[in-house]
Structure 1
Amino acid sequence: MRSTLISGLAAVSLATTLAACAPGTSESGSGADAPAPSGSVDLSSFKGKKITYLYFTDGPDEAATRSLLKEFESKTGGTVDLQIVPFADLQQSLQARLSGGNAPDVARLADLAPFKDELMDLSGVVGADYADQFLAGPATAMKDGDKIIAVPNDLTMNGPFVNTDLFEKAGVPVPTKWTWDEMVAAAKKVQAANKTEAGIAIDKSGHRLSTILSQFGTTMVGKDLTNTLDEAKATKAIDSLVTLIEDGTIPKDFWIESGSKYKGANEIFLAQQAPIYISGNWQVAQFADAAKFGWKAVPNACAERCGGFPGGKYTVALSQSKEPEMAAALVQFLNSKESQATMDAASMWLPTRNDLIEGKGVTYPDRQADMEVFTADVGETPEDTYDAVASPAFGASATVLVEEFAKAVAGQQDAATTAKNLKAGIDQAIADSK
């Protein structure tokens, strides 16, 4: 499936230097129709200029980001004002600034859909073939028609962690591959042997639940805003999870106490109250620092199909930027081969560039084997999951998924009704996104 994911994409050499393809002078403007910068420019033209970078941090990435920005400033003689906001406030903050005519020049986003009309077209800067430098999945969201509006900055991959100490005490081998049924059986055996609160912990997240839907053979949305949910397969996935909650394998209180709001289950895993935790690669850095027990990342379990579910962040330039040339240059700089390799190693991120996935990859300072597990699952993850997460209707659909699943957990409806309601909710999310 890895060859399917990146078929037709040739490995590329080192990213073109800023001096060769940095944007040239263009008239500053605002709004979606502001002209994109094009041509080339001497980087010294940025000397004394200042741009802002609206950013949210996942933790260890902040120091690496500041280091890269200093390097950019050294190359250009300009200044980048890094403005950090909590992830929960990012969308509201950016919308307010756009409405007030005070947009940042560059931003880090997880969801492009609400801001598509405000993003600068970078195609004149980076070239028409720029998307070919990136994995086909993450590159799905780069374009809006012929425009290149975003660059995938990092890739996330959902997947499980196991407490190897608890597995060893229970006499259960740590898997190198496993089916869904084998994962469930192992979780129950390790839970019983160690008398832990749960066997499996999973974040309360539509994104994480989408991992299970995909493994059972379906996604919620596809290309061209289509509703792709297979109700029968969704029913089977939902029923499997609800059964595990009802028999105590997955903690029920965790799902009920916080309603339908996102909640991470990492504290349950760190407290050694669940031997298996379904989350994603961004936890590696935290666990390397905080876990006081043996643990490791393992491949996703296979039901009808294998792999996890992707996500990621994007670097964008805003069309309201008063320094569009410098803004576009920063976006390109942050996503060069060298910059991504530096950032990924420091932050335990997965790269989006072909030359970092297909070559020797990223050398991480710690937990290399765990990161390679997630990297390998990139190639096992079906292509339609990338179409799903790139859809402007995915965010709203994911919210509906959590809300309807919470009703099933509370015993208010069965799995079939949950899948039916989810299908209708996806239709509404698609209609709203249009």
Structure 2
Amino acid sequence: MRRRHIAIRLTALASVGVLLAACAPGEVEGEGDDEPTGPPEVESVDPAEFAGETLNYVYFTDGPDEQITRELIAEFEEEYDVTVELEILPYADLVTSVQARLSGGDPPDVVRLTSLADFEPDLLDLRAYLGENYSEEFLPGPLTGATGDNGELLAIPSDLTLNGPFINVDMFEEAGVELPDPADPWSWDEMLQAVEEVRSAAGTPYSMVMDVSGHRVSTVLSQHGTALVADGEMALDPDAAEQALSPLMDLMAEDAMPRDFWLGSGSRYEGGNEIFLAEEAPLYLSGNWQVAQFAADAQFDWAAAPNPCATECGGFPGGKYMAALSESENPALAAEFIRFMNTAENQERFVAHSLFLPTRADLAESGVTYPERQEDMDVFLEDLGRTPELGYEANGDPAFSASATELINEMSEVVAGNKDLPTAITDLQDSTQALVEETSG
């Protein structure tokens, strides 16, 4: 594969000041006090004091990230003369396992999370060990979900994902349909017209497929200027939601997007990757984590495509956090481990190897070189710069995950013919509001 190094254009996200250098290894802050008006005072410890200590890191893997994680851990162990116990859990078991350990008085030191909502009261304020200005090394969007109500730095965004479409290039070219331009994204109408032309020419069962996922559908909501939740409030605009969801409902009513696939999953996540790989649809809305699988398994020419635009452009963000537990027996070591894993050099190695997107502002400015499919990753990086801040606010909200499940449930009611779309949206507003009140309480 052709490899090249480009600057990541994230002007919409990288509106940060001059970055401060990372704390030197071993530099920590004191415990401070409980006042929310300012960070704890800074003090330093000798990094040699870490020698001989043991750190427990609870982790789940997306696949390609495990190898590079183990390599970085080995380097950390050698540099600090410590032992890191890497405990890999299935993602489905992560929350309940960590909660059980907290209840039993045996918390892990560091945990990899997709959301802080389940553990926010239990997380260490990293400002106490990494400094008040450490957060300035990261893009403001990804930091949204890692920041407490009083400015606490409760985690570090370690990698970023972005929802977006893939296209079957062979089908597009055989149908004589022009490929979308990543620098000049298509509109929703243009995308729907294009995939219908390809479907008609290729004779595929479907025009498009998307994951059965409230996170993925939130991409469409974001492109129409709305979201389920944001900033601790129910944020769904009913008119924008109807404009966003109507095309999806129409596609499934015509079975141009697989109706049975959607209904068959219930409220559980279901990926549409097998349908795309079987060449049953020319377009698949998922995200950049599919790049590695498609590079290995696709038997046709494919490419990442830009997200379509409505009132907004771009995708919908996700990603992972590294967080330390406040009851850790080794808080200073836990914070230093998080810092080490997210230096510019180490984060670049991690995201490049794993085909993720960076969260550091300096990497956003300088660029990341990927070992394969550079042009496809560049499409996601380009779209990252078009992604509205509202997406980060929604994804980081404590009520997002549960409200995203309600979104799927309400859409399924419409697909099954049990409700009309306006009624489903009204019911979704009500259930989301209840979830917001529950999580805030």
Which TM-score band (shorter chain)? over 0.9
| Counterpart check, 1:387 vs 2:376 | no
Query: Aligned with 2:157: secondary structure?
Result: strand
Give the distance between the partners of 1:117 and 1:150, measured in 2 at CA: 12
2:195 maps to 1:187: yes
Matched, 1:409 2:412: no
Indicate whether 1:222 and 2:230 are aligned: yes
- Counterpart CA distance in 2 for 1:46 and 1:305 is 48
Q: Is the 8 A contact 2:29 2:127 kept in 1?
A: no
Letter in 1 for 2:436: I
Query: 2:428 corresponds to which residue?
Result: 422
Cα distance change of structure 1 residues 11 and 275 upon mapping to structure 2, 3 Å threshold: farther
Distance 1:4 1:350, change over 3 A: closer
Unaligned runs of 5+ in 1: 28-34
Task: Give matches, 1:368-383, under 5 Å.
Answer: 368-383=374-389
Kindly indicate whether the alpha-carbon contact (under 8 Å) linking 1:36 and 1:122 is maintained by their aligned counterparts in 2: no
* Code of the aligned partner of 1:164: V
| Within-5 A mapping of 1:225-304 | 225-304=232-311
Identity rate, percent: 48
- Please name the residue that 2:4 is paired with: none
Q: Deviations over 1:316-354 (max 9, x none)?
A: 001121111111111111111111101011000100000
Match 1:211 to one of 192, 196, 219? 219
Gaps of 5+ in 2: 1-8, 33-38
Deviation at 1:270, TM superposition (A): 1.0
Residue in structure 2 matched with residue 31 of structure 1 by the alignment: none
Residue 371 (structure 2) pairs with residue 365 (structure 1): yes
Residue 355 (1) aligns with residue 362 (2)? yes
Once the 2 structures are TM-superposed, how far is the Cα of residue 13 of structure 1 from its aligned partner? 6.2
Number of the residue aligned with 2:6: none
Native 8 Å contact 2:14 2:364 kept in 1: no
* 1:345 aligned to which of 343, 352, 373: 352
Matched residue SS, 1:64: helix
For residue 171 of structure 1, what is the aligned residue in structure 2? 176
- The worse-fitting range, judged by mean Cα deviation, of 375-384 and 62-71 is 375-384
User: What is the alpha-carbon root mean square deviation over aligned residues?
Assistant: 1.8
CA contact (8 A) 1:198 1:248 kept: yes
| Equivalent-residue separation in structure 2 for 1:41 and 1:250 (angstroms) | 58
Q: Which amino acid aligns with 1:163?
A: N
Alpha carbons 2:30, 2:129 under 8 Å: kept: no
Q: Aligned partners of 1:271, 1:14: CA distance in 2, in Å?
A: 48
Corresponding position: 1:43 with 2:47: yes
The answer for the alignment partner of 1:126 in structure 2 is 130
1:136 and 2:140 are equivalent in the alignment? yes
Offset at residue 286 of structure 1 (A): 1.2
Q: Tell me how far 1:293 sits from its aligned partner.
A: 1.1
The answer as to whether partners of 1:11 and 1:355 remain within 8 angstroms in 2 is no
Is 1:107 aligned to 2:115, yes or no?
no
Q: Which residue of 2 aligns with 1:64?
A: 68
Aligned residues: 422
Letter in structure 1 aligned against 2:330: E
TM-score between the two structures when normalised by the length of structure 1: 0.94
> What TM-score do you get using the length of structure 2 for normalisation?
0.92
For 1:179, the aligned partner's letter is S
Deviates more, 1:166-175 or 1:73-82: 166-175
Q: Measure the CA separation in 1 of the matches of 2:30 and 2:196.
A: 63
In 2, Cα distance between equivalents of 1:318 and 1:38: 20
Change (3 A) 1:36 1:268: farther
For 1:419, the aligned partner's letter is I
Q: Give the secondary structure class of the aligned counterpart of 1:282.
A: helix
Specify the code of the residue in structure 1 equivalent to 2:164. Answer: G
CA contact (8 A) 2:29 2:40 kept: no
Q: Which moved more, 1:65-74 or 1:302-311?
A: 302-311
Q: Aligned match of 1:150 in 148, 151, 155?
A: 155
